Structure 1
Amino acid sequence: MKNIGYLFLAGTIALSLSSCVSLDEEPSSSLVAENFYTKEADAISAVNAVYETLHYDAGQSLYNGLIQIGVEMATDDYEAGPRARNSHVRAISNLTHDVSNNRMEELWLESYKAINRANIAIDKISAISPNNISADVQKRLVNEAKFLRALHYFNLIRWFKYIPLVLHETTTLSTESLNIKQATEDEVYEQIISDLKDAEQLPAPDGYSSSDVGRATAGSAKALLSKVYLTRQQWQLAADKAKEVIDTGWYDLFDDFADAFNPATKNGKEHIFSVQYQGYSNYVGNYLAVRSATNEVPGISGENADAYHQGSDLYGSFEPTDVRRDISFVTDIVSPVDGKNYHLRVPLLNKYHDENANSNPKESSVNFPYFRYSEILLIYAEALNELNGPTAEAYNAVDKVRSRAGSSKLADVAPALSQDNFRDSVFQERRKEFIYEHQRWFDLSRRGAEYYVKMLKAAGKTQAQPKHIHFPVPQREIDLNPNLKQNPDWE
């Protein structure tokens, strides 16, 4: 599928036939859309197929390697590892990528593949006869699909800025249907917000059965909506929505930071929305674990493809008592073969390491935490600061995160920060809290080109330019669709 028009053709859609979001069976069916969507089981399978795009694909799925390549490597804290030999990957890491970069193309294609599935599910499920589906289930599934559509459009608009907005299945091969024009940023964000407001009607986290753990909830929608408002600098709306999530009482921080990345505690009280993984179960292990693992220790078959950027000051910035450093990174590994300790030359990213998959890291069962409760606290603190400066309530929100980490309270060590300095402290806290969670590039870019360039050049990535706060529209898409225009910064 190599252009926008083709992405939205009617016909067939790959559908998982499993009954829950864990999706622990490899996709095996392709069903004709017109003959599907007649009963409740069809609707469930259709929405499962939208979830599936988060973690599974014949190539690289979005949250199983692709976004890491396209986002984290283009920051001050990450780089292509020594065994990342693909020239397109290394170009992103070195900030020398261009309009023909195939990883940018894959981000575009995989995102629109997911949106295509969501669009079809929304339209077709809504049309199922009430005799064949429960009204509550029908509404819930449509709103889950809307949440996922919003998630993907939120990624796309932040990456590319100028994107087509497609909300229904394409049913003809007309030029008008295939050659879709780009929407304005406001139009895309209006749709994202509309979808998320609908998704706020989803059940609470405890409203699902155990077999449906991992689905989007009302809390997922509210949390993502707060982040959308934050990105749009709608500070009051961001603060209000984050406070709404806090006041539900649905979520809390784990006492132990490590539990956020422990397979035994996945989908726990801190997890607002996670991409689901289960190792040794038909190719749905968390591949980020093997991408960041070493191949220099006997018995560990890592890829050394995702690496900590040595020019970054992140590793050395942690207080000695801050437990996040030694959970996010590893510097010593005991070989499962010879029992010897191997000291690594450079800290390795380690959040997705699964002790039950030491010799085969790609079978990690650690979920990818798309949204954790700690982020709600930091969104709340940031928004309050932008509204009124560093209030006591803003300090308290940050210090809940710092205290759990074992770090000193900001209110104790810096009780009278200016608004600008408090903002920097919140961003530094996000930097430490969300290592290797696909947050850094979005944080740098939303603060603007000047900040992005300053931070990357300070880390030794001297190729950084203002245009790098967005990606170029893939040239292949422009060649195939004459109505697509390139981002002016990339012309």
Structure 2
Amino acid sequence: MKMLKYILILVIIFTTIGGCKENLLDTTPYSQIGSGNMWDSENLVEKGVNGVYNTLRYTYVGNELWMLDQDAFTGSNRDRTSWILGSSTLKSGVITAADGLFQAYWQQHYEGIHRANDAIENLTSGVPVSEEKTARLIAEMKFLRAYFYFGLNRVYKGVPIYLEPVPAEEVNRPRETEQAVWDVIIKDLTASINEANLPDMYARGDANKGHATKAAAYALRGKAYLYMEEYAKAEEDLRKVGDLGPALFQGDYKDLFKEANEDHPEMIFSVQNIALSGLGTRTQKHVGTRVAFGSNWNNHLPNVDFVESYENADGSEFKWDEYLPGYSSMSPTERKVFFLRDGLTQEEQDEFESQGVEMSLYLPNGNEARVKAAYENRDPRLQANIITPYSEFHGAAGSDEFTYTLRWPYIGYDRSEPFDLRTDTNSKFYYLWRKWVYEGASIENRAYGPTDQPLIRYADVLLMLAEAINEQGFDQEAVSILNQVRDRAGAALLQTGDPSLPTYVSGQKDLRERIRNERRWEFPLEGINLFDEMRWETWKETKFAPQSGQKEIWGAPTYEYSWRGDHLYTWPIPRTEIERNPNIEQNSGWE
């Protein structure tokens, strides 16, 4: 399979640095696409098509959408910048329509649209490829065009529509309504679904693995209907996905995100990564630590409120006081005592006491075990996604592998006892990501990991299906579908028979919140969480509630979040685009 990926990647490279010499995709504005003689042979046709797929590698289109989860309920960043193009974070309260985030997101998606338009026009004009293959490729390009428009419409809610190649001087159309864009998306996906030559799914190891399929088209159309609140149509499409070959990975949840399982049938549509410079994933570089291979930055951090939201193993709500009596009534400084390492000297204890830490509760020989228990009796996805206090991480110092433990305060060392887990934030005690961080010295370079980045996976389809059913009225089937995901994760199964148990689902409202939490726990760092909170319009209450913000593990604030206003649920048209095209009107609240 990896050899096949190398072939595909080489095709993409030649497309962008060779084939695109004619169509100028990489040297002129994203809004300008020509075709020249790009489509004169079957080889060039394949390069042209792969050039459209290559757009998925762009930060905000596919390969690094996970970075936006730092602005969702699930994530934080360690300072005021997002580490993406130097833009401000959405939660800073100072972001404006001129921010680089909005411009890059808009530009990258429209480049994909214009590339797809160019491909569709040339494929329909006659190319030296069989009719069957041409039909399949057109269906794939329409899927990708729908995917790009979907990305735009979910945040800007109405954008200019281009369905054919246009020169730069004609990129001046006004915005269409949000509904008009949804109509284009549905039409393209319907055409893909109806194309007989588009396969349901590709088998593991197939050379075309990573290309669009009917399963992906049904899943995306179902998701579009969910955004449109056409729940019956969403349900119909999402049910269909399961008939086409996708299935839940039945191993350990943590193992799903390793290279060995990147082409499992759960992964319906993914960015194809490989361990070559510029062609892999940078998750390691941004969410790893100094003792993860490559010596990384941990500039994306799990949100404290998110970590505390994970249920106990029996499905009950997690409460600190049940593990550490009196915890909630103490100040953050006082409760720091529970997170201190064993064996502190008397001098060290006196120093913490002088800072206001409640050292009368310190256990010199059992402090670590006491707090560690609060994380062990939880939904298994907590430990799979997060490095929690006093848990271990198998990392590396250079090419030598060691096992480290997250302790406070940090003492060291990377290559000798006590093998403390070292970070870029040793002066503070934060939760750290385990998900997507490679263990040991198993990769070649921190900047290009080989694991594919999922864009659509079957767990997402199942939870969307449960949501679509529940929004039409409470139904036991929605509980059963939700339980498929919980069962795979090893979480307690929900039920409707015994009200005395914490797993009891009382009705539609209760199930709605359980589905939302399930999505939060299942999909961190997959570029899903932020858009879910925006779609549900729950972002304000989850991310900006009183005492929210970036915090150390015991709740001490390090950076407060500021809600700019409800217009954050709709992003601004980038200021540069309005300056280029006076026919575009700005969204309310961003003038």
Q: What TM-score, normalized by structure 2, do the two folds share?
A: 0.73
Q: SS at the partner of 1:370?
A: strand
| Structure 2 gap segments, 5+ residues each | 23-34, 314-376, 407-420, 422-428, 497-501, 550-560
Task: Work out whether 1:20 is the aligned partner of 2:109.
Answer: no
Corresponding position of 1:303: 297
CA-CA distance at 1:431 after TM superposition: 0.5
Corresponding residue to 2:36 among 34, 48, 51 = 34
Task: Work out whether 1:148 is the aligned partner of 2:144.
Answer: yes
CA-CA distance at 1:313 after TM superposition: 4.7
On the 8 A contact 1:21/1:212 being kept in 2, the answer is no
Corresponding position of 2:94: 96
* Structure 2 CA distance for aligned equivalents of residues 141 and 79 of structure 1: 40
Corresponding position of 1:259: 255
Tell me which amino acid in the other structure corresponds to 1:330: I
Q: Deviations over 1:376-423 (max 9, x none)?
A: 11111111111121x121111000100111100011643342211110
* Structure 2 CA distance for aligned equivalents of residues 378 and 346 of structure 1: 30
What is the number of residues matched between the two proteins?
460
Distance 1:194-1:318 versus aligned 2 partners, 3 A rule: farther
Corresponding residue to 1:368 among 409, 432, 453 = 453
Corresponding position of 1:333: 393
* Structure 2 CA distance for aligned equivalents of residues 395 and 292 of structure 1: 33
* Structure 2 CA distance for aligned equivalents of residues 210 and 135 of structure 1: 21
Q: Deviations over 1:21-65 (max 9, x none)?
A: 786747421232221212322221111011111115xxx563333
Corresponding position of 1:64: 63
Tell me which amino acid in the other structure corresponds to 2:381: R
Corresponding position of 1:14: none
Q: SS at the partner of 2:36?
A: helix
* Structure 2 CA distance for aligned equivalents of residues 457 and 368 of structure 1: 29
- Which residues of 2 match residues 341-490 of structure 1 at below 5 A? 341-343=404-406, 345-355=429-439, 357=442, 360-389=445-474, 391-411=475-495, 413-448=502-537, 451-458=538-545, 459-460=548-549, 461-490=561-590
Tell me which amino acid in the other structure corresponds to 1:429: E
Distance 1:418-1:278 versus aligned 2 partners, 3 A rule: same
Task: Work out whether 1:78 is the aligned partner of 2:75.
Answer: yes
Corresponding position of 2:106: 108
* Structure 2 CA distance for aligned equivalents of residues 293 and 114 of structure 1: 30
Tell me which amino acid in the other structure corresponds to 2:176: A
* Structure 2 CA distance for aligned equivalents of residues 406 and 208 of structure 1: 26
Distance 1:23-1:369 versus aligned 2 partners, 3 A rule: farther
Distance 1:298-1:490 versus aligned 2 partners, 3 A rule: closer
Tell me which amino acid in the other structure corresponds to 1:185: E
Structure possessing the higher radius of gyration over alpha carbons: 2
| Structure 1 gap segments, 5+ residues each | 1-16
Corresponding residue to 2:223 among 220, 227, 245 = 227
Tell me which amino acid in the other structure corresponds to 2:73: D
Q: SS at the partner of 1:248?
A: coil
Distance 1:258-1:37 versus aligned 2 partners, 3 A rule: same
Distance 1:186-1:365 versus aligned 2 partners, 3 A rule: same
* Structure 1 CA distance for aligned equivalents of residues 528 and 60 of structure 2: 17
CA-CA distance at 1:92 after TM superposition: 2.4
Q: Deviations over 1:266-307 (max 9, x none)?
A: 11121111111111x232111123111123x38642122222
Tell me which amino acid in the other structure corresponds to 2:174: K
* Structure 2 CA distance for aligned equivalents of residues 299 and 208 of structure 1: 29
On the 8 A contact 1:80/1:90 being kept in 2, the answer is no
Corresponding position of 1:13: none
Distance 1:192-1:53 versus aligned 2 partners, 3 A rule: same
Relative to its length, the structure with more helix (as a share) is: 1
Distance 1:421-1:444 versus aligned 2 partners, 3 A rule: same
Q: SS at the partner of 2:122?
A: helix
On the 8 A contact 1:334/1:340 being kept in 2, the answer is yes
CA-CA distance at 1:94 after TM superposition: 2.1
Tell me which amino acid in the other structure corresponds to 1:125: L
Distance 1:161-1:365 versus aligned 2 partners, 3 A rule: same
Distance 1:384-1:23 versus aligned 2 partners, 3 A rule: farther
CA-CA distance at 1:348 after TM superposition: 1.8
* Structure 2 CA distance for aligned equivalents of residues 333 and 82 of structure 1: 24
Distance 1:24-1:170 versus aligned 2 partners, 3 A rule: closer
* Structure 2 CA distance for aligned equivalents of residues 313 and 257 of structure 1: 17
Tell me which amino acid in the other structure corresponds to 1:225: R
On the 8 A contact 1:84/1:306 being kept in 2, the answer is no
On the 8 A contact 1:270/1:373 being kept in 2, the answer is yes
CA-CA distance at 1:362 after TM superposition: 2.3
Corresponding residue to 1:51 among 44, 50, 53 = 53
On the 8 A contact 2:459/2:485 being kept in 1, the answer is yes
Distance 1:150-1:198 versus aligned 2 partners, 3 A rule: same
Corresponding position of 1:199: 192
Deviates more, 1:319-328 or 1:149-158: 319-328
On the 8 A contact 1:457/1:464 being kept in 2, the answer is no
On the 8 A contact 1:254/1:269 being kept in 2, the answer is no
CA-CA distance at 1:209 after TM superposition: 7.2
In percent, how many aligned pairs have the same letter? 27
* Structure 2 CA distance for aligned equivalents of residues 254 and 96 of structure 1: 44
Corresponding residue to 2:165 among 169, 177, 180 = 169
On the 8 A contact 2:71/2:89 being kept in 1, the answer is no
CA-CA distance at 1:309 after TM superposition: 2.5
Q: SS at the partner of 1:79?
A: strand
Corresponding position of 1:179: 172
* Structure 2 CA distance for aligned equivalents of residues 467 and 318 of structure 1: 36
CA-CA distance at 1:354 after TM superposition: 2.7
Q: What TM-score, normalized by structure 1, do the two folds share?
A: 0.87
* Structure 2 CA distance for aligned equivalents of residues 61 and 146 of structure 1: 19
Q: SS at the partner of 2:150?
A: helix
CA-CA distance at 1:167 after TM superposition: 1.0
Q: SS at the partner of 1:336?
A: strand
On the 8 A contact 1:327/1:351 being kept in 2, the answer is yes
Tell me which amino acid in the other structure corresponds to 2:44: D
* Structure 1 CA distance for aligned equivalents of residues 86 and 277 of structure 2: 28
CA RMSD of superposed structures (Å): 2.6
* Structure 2 CA distance for aligned equivalents of residues 467 and 168 of structure 1: 32
- Which residues of 2 match residues 245-324 of structure 1 at below 5 A? 245-279=241-275, 281-295=276-290, 297=291, 300-314=294-308, 316-317=310-311, 319=313, 320=377, 322-324=379-381
